[in-house]
Structure 1
Amino acid sequence: MHRFLIDPSDIQDGRVHFAEEISLQMKKVLRLRSGNEVVVFDGGGVDYQVRLEVVETKTSLGTVLSANDSHNEPGIFITLYQALIRSERYEYALQKGVETGISRFVPFTSERTEVSIPSQSKMGRWRRIIKEAAEQSGRSVVPQLSDPILFSNMIKNLNSVVLIPWEEEKNQSIRQILSKLRQDPGLDVTYIDLIIGPVGGFTSQEVLDAADYGATSVSLGKRILRSETAGIVAAVTVLYEFDDI
């Protein structure tokens, strides 16, 4: 069933007023008609089953049939600090990260970053990709996208559990570290940060600097992963180990 993100103010007295952008999509692209049912969500964790009453290109109207708390959001809030890489690869990481269950994305630049800071228009495009991926994958909360930041500033504002996958780490795997975290009853693992480097990876000094602020370097396995793939693999591993897929 088609899902649409709407503004909370668009739901009033059991009726849903669809904005022009969604109305045009329903009318011209999806060919929906009155009587069809869709699901809408406002980013607050509730899904609304809606029957369409009027479908026009400028505005559409629907009636709320039911409202149900969504249970699709992971219990662990994962922030993916993803180094800037080529735009199409970054967009892949955003889209698949949303589908995986990542809750927040933070672009950053580091010593080996080879691309420029994205423009506001590109950031807008990335937010649309996140929104559409949330609609498609059944998320009830749209993940956040923060403004780009410098690595040196980023590591000063991390949560208590921070993992930095690094291809030079040979002593501890991500699964070993997660197993230890699971066995520590006094540790709050509600928030977990993942830091993924650019093409070319992190320098040894950057990993040491991150460790000074509490980050733990981990291995993702025997094979070298692309930057846009590493964050997805790490996030899936975290959610799997905590039975939160």
Structure 2
Amino acid sequence: MRISRLYLPQALEEGSVLQLDEESAHYLRTVLRLKKGTDLTVFNGDGREYSARVATIVRDEVRVEIGDGRNREVESPLTTHLGLGISRGERMDLAIQKAVELGVSRITPLFTEHCVVRLDDTRRGSRRQHWRKVARSACEQCGRNRVPEIEEPIELRDWVVGREGLRLFFDPQAAVGLKDLPRPEGFVSLLSGPEGGFAEKERVLAREAGFIPVRLGPRILRTETAVLAALSAIQAIWGDLG
């Protein structure tokens, strides 16, 4: 039987017994439905993971005993920073989830001209926390022990300036594909649009900032599909899926 993995936002030490915070306790008790004595794996994002066992599980208290720690790196050798046009609800969640599963290193949500989601300061903070939870859950599922950072949402025009490494943006109008490009030296900045795609002035802005337009085949892809297809292809060509 598969052992459940759980992200814990606290220091982990071999031999300690930790009382879980309310959110983690609810997830372990109600979602995972673990029982006292059940083995699991826990991690906090620092690259290590620990064997653990449920020591106490009652209505208002869940404790886990931390066992042996081990270093287990499954990070891609290719560092990828994804600038992701903000989409609605489940589409954005799915794009972040799959990007994390496919080894993305960092994600910055972007406001674009065709973005249909507008966030005030309060909603911006709450959405960022939600997207961080999506990223942590994806790490629990896929076995990553380092959680990619979800940065503060910013305007596309601000993000494209000063990006590092090979800079790419996905454009169905592009003349070249990924296989036509030289192998990057360890770092790729990726720009992916929202549901409505990029406005022409945003394409110009990206090109002026050194981003190369690339196509992902002859079909028009939804924003969440484009992220999945692009990162899969990049990892297969230059990363660790080959």
Same fold (TM over 0.5): yes
Structure 2: gaps (5+ residues) = none
Aligned equivalents of 1:13, 1:167: Cα separation in 2: 51
**1:111/1:22 Cα in 2 relative to 1: closer, same or farther (>3 Å)?**
closer
Partner of 1:89: 91
Give the letter for the 1:71 counterpart: E
> Could you give the per-residue CA deviations for residues 19-76 of structure 1, whole angstroms, max 9, x where no partner exists?
3332233334433223211000010111111122222343333333322212222122
Contact conserved, 2:78 with 2:188, CA < 8 A, in 1?
Answer: yes
Give the letter for the 2:233 counterpart: T
Give the letter for the 1:188 counterpart: E
**1:201/1:13 Cα in 2 relative to 1: closer, same or farther (>3 Å)?**
closer
Partner of 1:105: 107
**155, 158, 161: which one pairs with 1:156?**
161
Matched, 1:221 2:225: no
Aligned equivalents of 2:118, 2:33: Cα separation in 1: 40
Shift of 1:243: 4.1
Shift of 1:151: 1.5
| Equivalence map 1:1-245=2 (5 Å) | 1-9=3-11, 11-12=12-13, 14-17=15-18, 18-117=20-119, 119=123, 120-170=125-175, 172-177=176-181, 180-181=182-183, 188-189=185-186, 191-245=187-241
Partner of 1:184: none
Give the letter for the 2:111 counterpart: T
SS in 2 for 1:126: helix
Contact conserved, 2:139 with 2:146, CA < 8 A, in 1?
Answer: yes
Aligned equivalents of 2:202, 2:30: Cα separation in 1: 50
> Could you give the per-residue CA deviations for residues 217-240 of structure 1, whole angstroms, max 9, x where no partner exists?
111111111112111211111111
The Cα RMSD (Å) is 2.0
**1:65/1:222 Cα in 2 relative to 1: closer, same or farther (>3 Å)?**
same
Structure 1, 118-127 or 207-216: larger mean CA deviation: 118-127
Aligned equivalents of 1:84, 1:162: Cα separation in 2: 19
Aligned equivalents of 2:22, 2:201: Cα separation in 1: 51
Give the letter for the 1:55 counterpart: I
Give the letter for the 1:134 counterpart: C
**1:29/1:149 Cα in 2 relative to 1: closer, same or farther (>3 Å)?**
closer
SS in 1 for 2:66: strand
> Could you give the per-residue CA deviations for residues 206-225 of structure 1, whole angstroms, max 9, x where no partner exists?
22321222211111111111
Structure 1: gaps (5+ residues) = 182-186
SS in 1 for 2:221: coil
Give the letter for the 2:163 counterpart: L
Give the letter for the 2:37 counterpart: G
What TM-score comes out, normalization by structure 1 length? 0.87
Contact conserved, 1:194 with 1:231, CA < 8 A, in 2?
Answer: no
Contact conserved, 1:91 with 1:126, CA < 8 A, in 2?
Answer: yes
**1:201/1:27 Cα in 2 relative to 1: closer, same or farther (>3 Å)?**
closer
Aligned length: 235
Identity %: 28
